Amino acid sequence: MKLVKGNKTLDIDESELDKIIAGFKRTEIDLGTGDGKFVYKSAQRNPEILYIGIDPSEKQLEIYAKRTARKRLKNALFVLGSAEILPNELTGKADKLNIILPWGSLLQLVAKPTQDELKKIKGLLKPHSELIIVFGYSPELEPSEAKRLDLPEITERYIKADVLPEFIKCGFEITKLEKLQSHQLEEFDSTWSKKIRLTSSRPLFIMQAILN
Ligand SMILES: C[S@@+](CC[C@H](N)C(=O)[O-])C[C@H]1O[C@@H](n2cnc3c(N)ncnc32)[C@H](O)[C@@H]1O
């Protein structure tokens, strides 16, 4: 798989990855990590946990990959990939998977999930691991996105009726679904959580699940 290290990319194979993982108590993946701030900040706070951020944008990943290299943080990795094309090396490696404020096809996967797509992200997880998704979207605030992705309005009722059953069918046990107030985004120290916290009052939800 392709790692973004500083402003370079580097290929590592599964045995090299396994050696890194073995040095930590647990491994957490952040899918759609963007610039990687959440991974970087989490890695600074919890040196015993390995954080792996995945995003299709190399330019975005470089932002916190450079800071990680400067600070010589060993527990933050940045990987090029997408929900559709996940590196095989990461199969079954995560104790926890975060998806924070997805947009584009990642938001579509979360808000209009299909079994094929869910199986791909489930593939990242170890048995009994945890999934956390923070998402929300407003057709008024993002009319072009609504049209392009053909998304319905995301309400609690819609999530319960149309989203959760797909996750359950895929083997997840839902442990929490709650509306999130913008200020609660503070818990997720990422670039977009800060932007949204400070600028808009869109409906947001947190969904937590355990893989059975
Ligand atoms: C609004 S940003 C959020 C970034 C970060 N999680 C944060 O909170 O700052 C959405 C991210 O989703 C990524 N994304 C979009 N489609 C994706 C996909 N199919 N698979 C993985 N990431 C995707 C984008 O590249 C972008 O970085």
**What would the pLDDT profile of 182-194 be if each residue is shown by its tens digit?**
888 889 999 999 9
Lowest-confidence segment of 72-81, 118-127, 128-137, 140-149 by average pLDDT: 140-149
Count: domains in the chain: 1
Q: Which domain holds residue 99?
A: 2-211
| Protein residue whose Cα sits closest to atom 14 of ligand 1 | 32
Pairwise CA distance, residues 114 & 100, whole Å:
19
Residues with CB under 6 Å of ligand 1 are 31-34, 55-57, 60, 82-84, 100-106, 190-193
| Confidence (pLDDT) at 184 | 86
- Summarize the confidence of residues 93-111 as an average pLDDT: 95
Distance 170 CA to ligand 1 centre (A): 22
Q: In the predicted model, is pLDDT for residue 199 greater than 80? A: no
User: pTM of the prediction?
Assistant: 0.96
Q: In the predicted model, is pLDDT for residue 143 greater than 90? A: no
In angstroms and rounded to an integer, the radius of gyration of the C-alpha atoms of the chain is 17
Lowest-confidence segment of 127-131, 173-177, 186-190 by average pLDDT: 186-190
Relative to the CA of 193, which ligand 1 atom is closest?
8
Q: In the predicted model, is pLDDT for residue 7 greater than 90? A: no
Q: In the predicted model, is pLDDT for residue 202 greater than 90? A: no
| Protein residue whose Cα sits closest to atom 7 of ligand 1 | 192
What are 54's strand-pairing partners? Answer: 31, 79
Distance 18 CA to ligand 1 centre (A): 25
Q: In the predicted model, is pLDDT for residue 200 greater than 70? A: no
Say which residue, 141 or 114, is predicted with more confidence: 114
Distance 192 CA to ligand 1 centre (A): 10
What CATH number has the domain bearing residue 175? 3.40.50.150
Say which residue, 167 or 148, is predicted with more confidence: 167
Relative to the CA of 100, which ligand 1 atom is closest?
6
The mean pLDDT of the chain is 94
Distance 101 CA to ligand 1 centre (A): 7
| Confidence (pLDDT) at 140 | 67
Name the band, by pLDDT with cuts 50, 70 and 90, for residue 206: very high
